[in-house]
Structure 1
Amino acid sequence: MEPRNQTGVSEFFLLGLAEDPELQPLLYNIFLFVYLVTILGNLLIILAISYDSHLHTPMYFFLSNLSFTDICLSTTTVPKMLVNINTQRNSITYTGCLTQVCAAIIFGGFENFLLGIMAYDRYVAICHPLRYTVIMNPHFLGLLVILSLFISIMNALVHSLMLLRLPCTDLEIPHFFCEVVQVLKLACSNTLINNIILYFMSSIFGGIPFSGIIFSYTQIVSSILRMPSAVGKYKAFSTCGSHLTVVFLFYGTGFGVYISSAFTHSSRKTTVASVMYIVVPQMMNPFIYSLRNRDMKGAMRKIIGRILYF
C-alpha cells in the first residue's frame, strides 16, 4: 500500500502516557533518566565483557548480546517519546511509525530468543559439564545468534509488510510508540489475516524459546537436587539466579501487558503496562547481572576505574 494513494496518511499522533501538560516535564525527566541509565548500564556490561579476558565465555557472550539488544530496544521507543514531549508535538511520520513497529519486533523477538539460548547454555553447563566446551563452541554460538537475529528480522518484515496493505483513517495511536497491535486497530478494513498471522507467529516464536527455558530449568533443578554437596548445589543455583531473574522480569511484564489488554478497555492502562515491558526490564538487566555476579562486579569495577582514569 502506498500511503499517498490509498490512505493519504503522512503521519500519526502518539497520545503518550498522559495528556495533562503539567505531567509532561515530570515524564520527560523520568524517561530521560531511565534511558540514560539503560544505555550507560548496558554499555558498561558490553565494555566489561570485552576488556576482561576471564569473561570471554559463552554465558557472557550471550549477555553482551542481550545488553546490545536492550540498548537497541530502548532506543527504538524512548528517544522519540522524549522528542515529542520536549517539542510538544506528538506526531510521527508514516515511515517512522512502520520503522518503529519493525524495530520493536526485531529486538523484542531477538531478546526472547537470547533468553532461551542462555537457558540452554546453563542447562549444558550444569547437566553436561564435561561436554560443555565441545557443545558450546564458538561456531555454534555464532550460529545461534545469527539464526535468532535472522528469524526475528523475517518475523518483523512479515508483520510490517502486512501493515502496508491496510488503509488507515484514524490517525491517533493511544500509545507512546507505534506498537503493531495498536496500529492494526487504526485500519478501516478487515484485519483478520493480520491478526491470525500475528498471533500464530507470536505463539511459535515466543512459545519455542519459553518452552526451551522451562525444559532447561526442569532438567537443571533435577540435576542440582541429585548433587550430594550443599556447596555444589549453591554454586549451581547461583549461576542461574541472574538469568532466572531476567526471565521472570521479561516474561512477567510481557504477560502483564497481555492480561491488561485482554481484561481492560482502557488504552491508557495498557500503555502504562507496556512501559513495564518495553522500558523497565532493559534498565534493570545490568543491575541484576552486575549485583548478583561476583565476576561481573569485578570486571565492572575495572572498566569504571579505567574510564575515570582517562
Structure 2
Amino acid sequence: MSVKNTNSTSDFILLGLLVNSKFTGIVFAVILAIFVVAITANPVMIFFIHRDSHLHTPMYFLLSQLSIMDTLFTCTTIPKLLVNMISNEKTISFVACGIQLFLCLTMMGTEFFLLGLMAYDRYVAVCNPLRYPVLMNRRVCLLAAGAWFGGSLDGFLLTPITMNVPYCGSRIIDHFFCEIPAVLKLAFADTSLYEALMYICCVLMLLIPISIISASYSLILLTVHRMRSAEGRKKAFTTCSSHLTIVSIFYGASFYTYVLPKSFHTPEQDKVVSAFYTVVTLTLNPLSEPMDCSCQAPLFCCVPASLVYQGPDVPC
C-alpha cells in the first residue's frame, strides 16, 4: 500500500504499525475486535458503577476512573491506526499530531498514578480491612483528581516543547501514532537537552507510583504469608495477580519507550512495545479482574471479586 504525497508542508505522514505486510488484513481485524471490546467493556462498567448506589465505594470509583481513562486513551490512537491501515492517505496534520501527543501523555501519566492508587487500595483491603472505610473514604476522590492533574501536567510540559522543535526535510513518522521518540527523530536540531529533561520527567513519573506499588505489595505478601486460611491466601493472590499483570506490562512498555537509551531501540520494536500499552493493556484492564457471582448488587450478576468485601481474612 503506497503512501500518497501531501501538499501541506505542516502535515506528518504516519507509516503505521505494519509497512507493506501481507498480514495487514488479519492485523486490522484483530485490532478492530480489540477496539470494539475496549469501547464496549469500559463504558458498560462505568455505567453500572455509577448507576448502582451499592457500588458507590472507593474501590469501584477507582475502577471507573481507570475505565474512563482507558476509553479516552483507546479513542486517541486506535481509530487513526485503523483508518491508516485501509487508506492510502496516511497524513496527520501538525495540530492533530500535537493533540494526539498531548492526550497520550496525559492518559499515560494518569494511568501511572491510578495504578499506584489501586495498589494502595488493595493494600488497605488486605492488611487493614476493618479500617478500610476510614482510610479509603471520600478523600479518594481528591487522590484520583491528583492523578488526572499529574497526568495532564506531563502533557502540558512535554507537548509544547516537542511541537516547537524545528522539523525540516522528512515528515515521515515511522510509527502508528505521534509518540515523542518517533517524532523527535525528524527534528532538525540538537534535542539532547530536551531528551534529558524528558528522561528525568519520565523517571519521576514512574518512580512515585512504582514505589507505592512495591511497598503495597510487599506488605500484602507479608500479610498473606501470615494468613491461616488457605482460601484467604488463594483469594488474595488471585486478586493481586491480575493487577500486577497489568502493572508489569504497562510499566515495562513505558520504561522501554521513554527510559532505555536509543541504542536499545529499533522502529519495529518500538511499534510493537507501544502497541502493548496503547492497545493490549487498555483492553485487559476491565477484563482482568477475577469475577465473583455471589454478590447481591442488583445491577451486577458478576462483579470483580477483588471489589467484594468478604471480611478481614480476604482481600476485599
Question: TM class by shorter-chain length?
Answer: 0.7 to 0.9
**2:140 aligned with 1:137:** no
Output the amino acid matched with 1:250.
Answer: F
Report the equivalent of 1:154: 153
- Give the distance between the partners of 1:260 and 1:268, measured in 2 at CA: 15
* Larger helix share, 1 or 2: 1
Give the equivalent residue in structure 1 for 2:292.
Answer: 294
The corresponding residue for 1:5 is none
Amino acid in structure 1 at the alignment position of 2:269: K
Show CA shifts across 1:183-211 (max 9, x none): 11211111122112211110001111011
Once superposed, what is the RMSD of the aligned Cα atoms? 2.5
Does the Cα contact within 8 Å between 1:74 and 1:282 map onto a contact in 2? yes
- Corresponding residue for 2:49? 49
Classify the secondary structure of the residue corresponding to 2:286: helix
Question: 1:295, 1:146 → 2: CA distance?
Answer: 31
Provide the C-alpha distance between the structure 2 equivalents of 1:157 and 1:296, rounded to a whole number of angstroms. Answer: 45
Q: Percent identity?
A: 38
Change (3 A) 1:231 1:81: closer
Equivalent residue for 1:19?
19
**Counterpart contact for 1:246–1:285, Cα < 8 Å:** yes
Query: 2:247 maps to which residue?
Result: 247
Q: CA deviation at 1:227?
A: 2.3
AA partner of residue 163 (structure 2): L
Deviates more, 1:109-118 or 1:263-272: 263-272
State the TM-score, normalizing by the size of structure 1. 0.86
Query: Equivalent residues in 2 for 1:1-310 (5 A)?
Result: 9-20=9-20, 22-138=22-138, 140-169=139-168, 170-255=170-255, 257=257, 262=262, 264=264, 266-289=266-289, 292-294=290-292, 301=301
- Structure 2 portions without partners, runs of 5+: 1-7, 304-316
TM-fit CA distance, 1:74? 1.1
The letter for the 2-side match of 1:149 is W
2:254 and 2:123 mapped to 1: Cα distance? 24
CA–CA distance in 2 between the matches of 1:27 and 1:283? 16
What is the distance in 2 between the residues matched to 1:21 and 1:281? 24
Deviation at 1:233, TM superposition (A): 2.6
Q: How many angstroms apart in 2 are the aligned matches of 1:111 and 1:99? A: 18
Distance in 1, Cα, partners of 2:48 & 2:143: 23
Unaligned 5+ segments in structure 1 are: 1-7, 304-310
The number of residues matched between the two structures is 293
* Rounded Cα–Cα distance in structure 1 between residues aligned with 2:211 and 2:56: 28
Query: Does structure 2 conserve the Cα–Cα contact (< 8 Å) formed by 1:9 and 1:168?
Result: no
Question: Could you say what secondary structure the match of 2:227 adopts?
Answer: coil
CA positional deviation for 1:278: 1.3
